[in-house]
Amino acid sequence: MPSSEIFAYWVETLKTTAVLDLSLGGFKSEYHPVALNSLDSVVIDFFAIPFGRFHLTGISCRVVYDLANLEADGSFSGSLSRICGLEYEKLSPEQNDKLDYLINLVHR
């Protein structure tokens, strides 16, 4: 899935990030930090512009990893770009259904 198709809006930090990978268990995102403090838990809203302006709001997530972005050859890129992995926490049945629907749209 191209990263330009789905975005995550981080409610606590008011930032929007590109979603690089999406699954029923969590997602991977690339972002540029705006502060030095990191969060252990966040609330995310998903937006997918090409899929009828799909949105899914209020997703509680736990940050699993947050790493400096590396180049394809494994060297440090020198930029402030970071990659983070997040795991969903306590999805409601409706959130789970909408997430499943979005994943099916992306992977068809």
**Record: fold of 6-106:** Thrombin, subunit H (2.40.10)
pTM of the model: 0.78
pLDDT in tens, 14-61: 888 889 899 999 999 988 776 655 678 889 999 987 777 788 999 999
Tell me whether strands 54-68 and 6-10 are parallel, antiparallel or unpaired.
unpaired
Confidence at 3, pLDDT banded by 50, 70, 90: very low
Residue 30's contacts (CB-CB under 8 Å, 6 or more residues apart) are: 3, 17, 18, 20, 69, 81, 82, 83
